[in-house]
Amino acid sequence: MPLRIDHASDTPVYKQIVDGLRVALVNGELSPGDALPAVRRLALDLGVHFNTVAQAYRALSAEGWLQISARSGVQVKQREVPTGNKTYLDATFRRAIEGLIAQMLARGTRRASLARELRRLAGALERT
């Protein structure tokens, strides 16, 4: 299961690690019980500071995805889907997507190709 980060991206590396792992967790590419690389190992391979990886692991642990222990390292854990305020979630989600769309348009991405990409993602979401 590959995790990809871009050192030239505007997105902080810590966030790229969190996002990349979360996508793999949500899609089931990483299952409960799977062990993740130790903080030191992942930091060495990505060429980032240990704290960056540790921060990313802690964030995912706080979301309930990972179990971090001194003895068994970092493991994916069985996570209950939280029952949140649906209206609040919808509004937050929409705001985030609208923000991303605005960001991409500001960078010169064409509206048509952006719409095509959103349709492709929606299709993939419905299939899973």
Partner 1 sequence: MPQLSPIVTVLVVTALLHFMPSLVRPDIFFGVTVPREFRRTVAAAPMIRAYRVILWGLTVLAVTAALVLPHKVAPLVPQIYILCVLADLAIIHRRAVPYSVKPATVVEVDLTAPAERLPGGPLVALVPLLWLGGLGTWSAFHEAAPAASLYAAAAWMCLMLAVMAWGVLHWSRRVSTSGQAAARERQFRRRVVAFVLACEYFIALPPTFHAFNVPRFAKLAWGAALLLVIVAFVLSLVSAGQGGTRKSAAAEGAPAGDRTADEHWHWGLFYFNPADPALMVEKRMGIGYTLNFGNPWAWLMLVGLLGVSLVVRTIAPR
Checking 116-124 for CB contacts under 8 A at 24+ apart, the result is: none
Q: Please identify, using beta-carbon distances, which residue of 41 and 94 lies nearer to partner 1.
A: 41
Q: Please identify, using beta-carbon distances, which residue of 67 and 101 lies nearer to partner 1.
A: 67
Q: Which of 10, 28, 47, 83 binds partner 1 (CB under 8 A)?
A: 47
The contact mask relative to partner 1 for 18-37 (x = CB under 8 A, - = no) is ---x--x-----x---x-xx
Interface with partner 1, residue 41, by CB under 8 A? yes
Q: Is 76 helix (H, G, I), strand (E, B) or coil?
A: strand
Q: How far apart are CA 97 and CA 118, in angstroms?
A: 10
Interface with partner 1, residue 127, by CB under 8 A? no
- Smallest Cα–Cα separation from 76: which of 34, 38, 120? 34
Q: How far apart are CA 94 and CA 88, in angstroms?
A: 10
Q: Which residues are near partner 1 by CB under 8 A?
A: 1-9, 21, 24, 30, 34, 36-37, 40-50
